[in-house]
């Protein structure tokens, strides 16, 4: 028994999450429901697995903080892993991410979402409870930019979940704790790095929220996530995170930069045997911005219900659209493998070495035209960035080396 076999079992059962705890059997979250499988796990096994994953260099940090976030590719599946210390010993919370590159079509999202990232500046919030697919939706929006526009994209994540291969866009991904000490420092750095688009994996504290709002006010398109169940609650949560004496100025700042809020939740479709996202979409119209400035968040729900002409979607209307939809993307059945999408680079495998003067050569890849290409692959401004063969292993070391 090892971690690879447990992840393989979870994958075979169609699980979205795998939970491991000393003295308890593995638990799988399948279609939103937890199910246990097998026998109890010994604490020594989980301790050894945690030490191998985290590495000796970062192990003292885990001992001090009693938790550690990382991402790995296990059994061909991208996994977001939280290693934690509990009353029983070491535990794991493993999220199994989609094995394909997230796009609006593959996630069965409404095509109107593509219009949001066509904007040059402003703030787009993606909200929802834990495990509702916020990171996947963010990745789909970034991929839409990647396939359609030549812009400089900087992502700040903890940890990196989806890796992007630059196509038309020039994409840099930074992981908090590895590439930058904090979200705050990364945001300060990003404003000096000539970005067009900034993605903030999660706004956790007032300082990160303030810097995110500042970035969206200074001519950048900013995408960020926040935990909430509705669009109105997401906006209210951002404002209420600040002290009362500055909430008025924060409300005005949020109103000035807001483009849209997407609140989503997952719903299982028995006829398709998949979970699909149900969304509530709030657009930053003049009326909505006035509600935000005056902190009349209770009025947003009624404005959203009657805002269809402005591109707004309530959960009920979005559900009706899902019921009438005929073309679905089913994982494993869609033609995603034949679209000519190259395999993504694993930019977060292993632990990064200390920064040294040696740099990795970067060259555009030259290839013959494949039999079938995606529309973005046919454009003249496509950017391809790949490591020179033989050098990649020198830059990113694998655990244990």
Same domain, 266 and 125: yes
Kindly state whether residue 295 falls inside one of the protein's structural domains.
Answer: yes
pLDDT above 50 for 156? yes
| Per-residue confidence band for 400, with pLDDT thresholds at 50, 70 and 90 | very low
Cα–Cα dist 146/166, whole Å = 7
- Residues 152, 84 within the same domain: no
pLDDT of 120 strictly over 70: yes
pLDDT at 390 (0 to 100)? 41
Residue 76 is predicted with a pLDDT of 85
Residues 87 and 125 in one domain: no
Q: What value does the mean pLDDT take over residues 144-161?
A: 93
Note down the domain range covering 146: 113-324
Instruction: Give yes or no: residues 75 and 122 share one domain.
Output: no
Residues 85, 51: contact at Cβ < 8 Å? Answer: no
Q: Are residues 81 and 145 in the same domain?
A: no
Percent of the chain past pLDDT 70, that is, above it, reads: 82
Query: Is the domain of 72 the same as that of 134?
Result: no
- Looking at 96, 121, 146, the residue that finishes a domain is 96
* Confidence label for 333 from pLDDT (cuts 50, 70 and 90): low
Average pLDDT over residues 81-88: 93
Among residues 233, 190, 230, 235, the alpha carbon closest in space to that of 209 is found at: 235
Same domain, yes or no, for 80 and 169? Answer: no
Q: Looking at the predicted structure, is the pLDDT value of residue 348 above 60?
A: no
**Domains identified in the chain, total number:** 2
The tokens of 109 are what? 């999202």
**CATH classification of the domain holding 40:** 3.30.450.90
> Which two three-digit tokens encode residue 152?
């400089």
43 lies in the same domain as 158 = no
User: 33 with 166, same domain?
Assistant: no
């Amino acid at each position: 028994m090892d971690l690879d076999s447990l992840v393989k079992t979870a994958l075979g059962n169609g699980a979205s999450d795998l939970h491991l705890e000393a003295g308890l059997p593995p638990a799988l979250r399948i279609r939103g429901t937890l199910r246990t499988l097998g026998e109890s796990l010994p604490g020594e096994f989980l301790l050894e697995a945690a030490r191998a994953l985290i590495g000796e260099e970062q192990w003292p940090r885990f001992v001090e903080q009693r938790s550690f976030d990382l991402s790995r590719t296990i059994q061909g599946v991208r996994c977001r892993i939280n290693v934690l210390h509990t009353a029983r010993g070491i535990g794991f919370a493993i999220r199994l991410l989609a094995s394909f590159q997230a796009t609006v079509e593959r996630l069965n999202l409404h095509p109107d979402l593509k219009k949001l990232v066509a904007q040059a500046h402003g703030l787009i919030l993606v909200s929802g409870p834990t495990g509702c697919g916020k990171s996947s939706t963010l990745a789909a929006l970034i991929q839409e930019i990647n396939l359609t526009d030549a812009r400089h994209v900087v992502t700040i994540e903890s940890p990196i979940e989806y890796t992007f291969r630059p196509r038309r866009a020039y994409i840099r991904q930074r992981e908090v704790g590895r590439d930058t000490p904090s979200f705050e420092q990364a945001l300060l750095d990003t404003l000096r790095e000539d970005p067009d688009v900034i993605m903030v994996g999660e706004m956790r504290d007032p300082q990160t929220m303030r810097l995110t709002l500042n970035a969206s006010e200074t001519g950048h398109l900013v995408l960020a996530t926040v935990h909430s169940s509705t669009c109105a609650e997401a906006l209210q949560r951002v404002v209420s995170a600040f002290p009362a004496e500055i909430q008025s100025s924060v409300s005005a700042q949020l109103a000035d930069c807001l483009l849209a809020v997407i609140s989503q939740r997952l719903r299982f479709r028995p006829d398709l045997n998949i979970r699909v996202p149900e969304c509530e979409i709030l657009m930053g119209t003049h009326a909505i911005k006035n509600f935000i400035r005056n902190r009349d968040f209770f009025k947003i729900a009624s404005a959203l219900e009657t805002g269809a002409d402005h591109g707004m979607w309530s959960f009920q209307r979005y559900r009706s659209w899902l019921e009438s939809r005929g073309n679905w993307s089913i994982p494993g059945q869609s033609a995603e493998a034949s679209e000519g999408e190259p395999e993504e680079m694993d930019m977060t495998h292993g632990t990064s070495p200390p920064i040294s003067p040696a740099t990795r050569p970067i060259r555009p890849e030259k290839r013959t035209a494949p039999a079938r290409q995606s529309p973005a692959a046919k454009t003249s401004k496509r950017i391809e960035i790949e490591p020179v063969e033989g050098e990649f292993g020198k830059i990113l070391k694998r655990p244990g080396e």
